[in-house]
Chain A
Amino acid sequence: MNMYLELFAVFAKIGVMTFGGGYAMLPILQREIVDQRGWATEEELMDYFAIGQCTPGIIAVNTATFIGQKRKGALGGIFATLGVIFPSLIIISLLAGVIEAFSHLTVVQHAFGGIRVCVCVLIFNAVLKLYKKAVVDKPTFAIFLIVLLGSYFSGLSPVFFVVCAAAAGIILKNLEGKRA
């Protein structure tokens, strides 16, 4: 099979099997990419993941681009990425159409009333998990608090906070380096 098509097909398969994204993808990538095809080593996969976490964008897309790029250059990266987003496009479009068609039913509205409460808890849990990794000292706690309150009470764009926080990180680390 054409290598570009194979990249597309393998990553479409990975997209279907990934539930929730991020780390849920890792065991599937290990089996499909490392064990079955030898497209990357275990270490390379871990590197891609680590970089995916500290670069902007969706981790699944980052990893797909990395592996596709390694196999077949930039175009390979693009084909792998299109593969990984393809199942979402199909499944969500079908589902969104169905939900739109039935959303006026009382029973569906009640169901989503309950589901939205669950979403509150899921976001809270996600924040708690991120908090443990991100807030490691007083300066990071200050950044967390300022962004939390600033974003909630002001109309400022998240982009503004992201850019300022990156600058703050560099300034704080530099000051630390000078004192030491």
Chain B
Amino acid sequence: MIYLKLFYEFFKTGLFAVGGGMATIPFLYRLSDNTGWFTHQDLANMIAVGESTPGPIGVNMATYVGFVTGTQVNGLPGALLGALSATLGLAAPAVIIILIVAALLKSFRENKYVNAAFYGLRPASTGLIGAAGLSVVMSNLFPGDVIALAAVNWKGVVLAAVLWLLTNKVKKTKSLHPIVFIGLSALVGVVFSMG
């Protein structure tokens, strides 16, 4: 039953993804490898859509993955049911945990074991997102099994360098919303026939 599986997989993601929307990405990569429900390319597209639409990005990604996966099984009804299963699965652990934590609010924040666990969790979460990011970079900028000069997506590398400068170094553009850069990249992609 694909809807139960979606609920279960996103429940797991919601339970173990620490630190906001981007933390769901490593789990979605693993899901793509294990199930073949969507490709790595699909996933990169979903990240862009999740970033440029209203709503928390983690929720957006879950809805998108559920929708695409459900479509393959049973058209539009499947898509809607898939979107619902994945999204509720993602939200469920947070609801359960917060309802418990709310009961013991003060002691939770001051608990030394909780603090110690997060001392280890934060860098691990960063490493996981980094590894997923590395996969995105390799599949989009350096496709092919071995890094070969001929296979390098040079247009992509140049665009990435420009975007990095705009988002980190140029004062005027640095604090703009990601949707601006996503829109700009779409335009560049069309003009220079990328992808």
List A residues at the B interface (Cβ < 8 Å): 15-22, 25, 47, 50-62, 65-66, 69-70, 74, 77-78, 81, 84-85, 87-89, 91-93, 95-97, 99-100, 107, 109-127, 130-131, 133-135, 140-141, 143-152, 155, 157-159, 161-170, 172-174
Contacts and interface: CB of A to CB of B under 8 A. Distances in A.
B63 A162 contact: no
Contacts, number: 387
B16 A158 contact: yes
Interface of B: 12, 14-22, 25-27, 30, 33, 41, 44-45, 47-51, 53-60, 63-64, 67-68, 71, 76, 79-80, 83-84, 87-88, 90-91, 93-95, 97-99, 101-102, 105, 108-109, 112-137, 140-141, 153, 156, 159-160, 163-164, 167-168, 177-179, 181-182, 184-190, 192-195
A145 B126 CA distance: 9
A143 B124 contact: yes
B56 A148 contact: no
A17 B54 CA distance: 6
13 contacts: A15-B54, A51-B101, A53-B19, A57-B93, A60-B56, A77-B98, A88-B54, A93-B67, A96-B64, A162-B125, A166-B117, A166-B118, A169-B117
Interface of A is mostly: helix
A112 B195 contact: yes
A77 B77 CA distance: 28
